[in-house]
Structure 1
Amino acid sequence: MTTTMPVGYHGQQPEVPKSVFVTGAGGFIGRAIMARYKALGCEVRGMDLQPDERAGIVAGDITDPAGWAEHAKGCDLFIHTAAVVSLAAQWPAYRKITVEGTRNAIKVAVAAGATRFVHFSSIAALGYDYPDGADETWPVVIGNEYLYGVAKGASEHVALAAHAAGDIDVTVIRPGDVYGPGSRAWLIEPLKMARAGQLILPDNGQGMFTPVFIDDLLDGIMLAAGLEDGKGQIFILWGGEAVSCKEFFSHHWRWAGRQGSPRSLPLKAALALTKGIWKVNQMLKRNDEVTPDAMLMFTRKGGFSIDKAKRLLGYQPKVNLAEGMRQSEAWLKACGELEDKT
């Protein structure tokens, strides 16, 4: 675990907060944030649906802050990661949790005395049909599909409106596809699907994947949260190394003991198949990320620009895909998800 603050490659020195509060603290990114700040000697607290007293996490619902707001009192950095983390939900859930939940979090942060509010959005806010090298000025997605991204864009509006009103200094983070030890979304779940033979990619997996290793993301978060130049800004943070979905998920295919690459369908067929599966899952109230939006996500045409984060923050990703997957595989073996044959 890194025990020093990252320094930007232009010499940027972020301020170390005394106390940090994290919503969604029990999730992959939330826990990683808390662990990194705790290693620096900061007081760390958080909330999530499931409590963890040893980690300083209380039970709470982002839609009902009365039960956890008191736990945030006295923090000077408030990091908001809680949201609907799914491509399979419907709009009422996205609006209530991701959008209105952001407004609730801001009110709690202001009342708690926080001086900086870091809001977690996503590159999904740009949709799936953007040009290679799109930056923070590219329009957010709107419409009746890709609702996860639509909700993230709407939540950014809530956060930046609070900044514009002078309620609190806000920084918005748009992470890439975050993976590494502890990742359920991009390690454990795809591995399960590969074992079951259900890992299917549209158009021969030629869509682009935009990975960022968790340690690189944490460096970017701490720079953005601790520097004056981060105030009122949106930052895209990812590894800067776009790869095809086929290349990324072939690791999971191999880990599952399979030969070659994940199976593929033409996009039109993949959308039809996943639309039927999604409707059945909705009727049965079954959680499953096999959705048309997932197929659309896997057709992205390129990566994103991180020039702004490099220029203002001195952000510099350090972990390439090969090393990140090596560490990820070691973690999967250590936690029993993969057999260690060495």
Structure 2
Amino acid sequence: MTHKNRNVLITGIDEFIGLRTAEKAITQGMKVCGLQSCKKQKKNVQDLGIDIIVGDINDPMIAQKACQGVDVVIHTHELAKEGGEIEEFRQVNVKGTINISKAAKKSGVKTFIHISNALVYGFDYPHLATEDSNLVGENNPYCETKIEAEKALLELNSPPNFGVIIIRPGDVYGPGSIPWVVRPVMLMKQKLFAYVNDGSGIINHCYIDNLIDAMFLSIEKQPYGEIFNITDGQETSCKTYFSYLAKMTNLPIPFALPKDELKLFLKLRYQGQKLFRKPVDIFPEAVDFMSRPHAYSIDKARDILNYEPSVNLEQGLEITKQWLQKTNLKEIIL
């Protein structure tokens, strides 16, 4: 796999997926630039020593500036929460995606890789759901806006001049992952984390470097107009994953609550946080994310991209453990 001297723009370069993608791209010899919406630059981003454009992804001039001289756009920027107002999500996940993709097409970018999410299948999908499975918004703002963005992007796909590739990762974890590492550990420390029912829901874990391998394979093979599910290819229960997370941080194994009871508790907590104008750390809809029934299929990625996960769960969690031991999690959240 050779990517030397490709000019790559990474949106959301200051976020978990974007930052790690930039680090890996640089080691591949790519010429990387980044777009971020937050004015405050993180030290890890500054240490990359690359050009960073700071601005609103919905600003046509910012988007056009960011895409100049670029061969590949890797679009990782998103609003990712379990719940909230749909217009807030739509502004970033749909309008922002359309704006940067149109700017890329106008600027002569050849490849546009969009990081969507397997949550477009909703919360109750068939065993080993494929890319052709039904898309279900579940009246959830994250799921719905990810579906809307995909549809809009595919309308812009016009290879060989401008090719769109959509990647639907599972639950991306690793050093820096807020939803699947940082927040669960912090909630466990406060004794506020619980399994849904008996913890039998499936976590479709995807180690961050496995996802990035799939991105780079997509750049190489150029399967324009295609969509790929990307996970670690394992079927792991939430109980197994979060018990491991607790053990490696020397925390008690989480307790279990029935789904309805846990959702009611989180609703009351959410209402209390809003009443006292405190930041919402977890939405009631998180219960739905934790009780999904099955694994997704990655057969298509294996067949077309020759994708094979190189980091398994035990290896990924060991790397994550080493990171946790030297990291102040409160600084990650801020």
> Normalised by the size of structure 2, how large is the TM-score?
0.90
Q: Deviations over 1:86-110 (max 9, x none)?
A: 1132101111110111111112212
CA positional deviation for 1:213: 1.0
Structure 1 unmatched ranges of 5 or more: 6-13
In the TM superposition, what are the counterparts of 1:27-106 in structure 2 within 5 Å?
27-50=15-38, 51=41, 52=45, 54-106=49-101
Figure out how many residues of one structure are paired with residues of the other and give that number: 323
Q: Structure 1 residue 266 and structure 2 residue 258: aligned?
A: yes
Which stretch of structure 1 is more off in the superposition, 16-25 or 113-122? 16-25
Q: 1:166 to 1:76 in 2, by over 3 A?
A: closer
**Alignment match, 1:302:** 294
User: What letter matches 1:125 in structure 2?
Assistant: V
Q: Structure 1 residue 281 and structure 2 residue 281: aligned?
A: no
**Alignment match, 1:241:** 234
Contact in 2 for aligned 1:135/1:306 (Cα 8 Å)? yes
User: What letter matches 2:251 in structure 1?
Assistant: R
Q: Deviations over 1:99-135 (max 9, x none)?
A: 1111111122123321011111001111111112001
Q: Structure 1 residue 137 and structure 2 residue 132: aligned?
A: yes
Aligned to 2:198, the other structure's residue is in SS state: helix
User: What letter matches 1:303 in structure 2?
Assistant: A
Contact in 1 for aligned 2:194/2:254 (Cα 8 Å)? yes
Q: Distance in 2 between matches of 1:281 and 1:164?
A: 46
Q: Deviations over 1:280-309 (max 9, x none)?
A: 334445433422221001111110110100
Q: Structure 1 residue 117 and structure 2 residue 109: aligned?
A: no
Aligned to 1:142, the other structure's residue is in SS state: coil
> Normalised by the size of structure 1, how large is the TM-score?
0.88
Q: State percent identity of aligned pairs.
A: 29
Contact in 2 for aligned 1:79/1:119 (Cα 8 Å)? yes
Aligned to 2:17, the other structure's residue is in SS state: helix
Aligned to 2:157, the other structure's residue is in SS state: helix
User: What letter matches 1:159 in structure 2?
Assistant: L
Q: Distance in 2 between matches of 1:263 and 1:234?
A: 37
Q: Deviations over 1:168-218 (max 9, x none)?
A: 210001011111123232222111111010112210211110111111111
Contact in 2 for aligned 1:26/1:57 (Cα 8 Å)? no
Aligned to 1:206, the other structure's residue is in SS state: coil
Contact in 2 for aligned 1:194/1:252 (Cα 8 Å)? no
Q: 1:100 to 1:284 in 2, by over 3 A?
A: farther
Q: Deviations over 1:54-108 (max 9, x none)?
A: 3422211122242353132100101111111111321011111101111111122
**Alignment match, 2:308:** 316
Equivalent of 1:26, from 2, 7, 14?
14
CA positional deviation for 1:33: 1.1
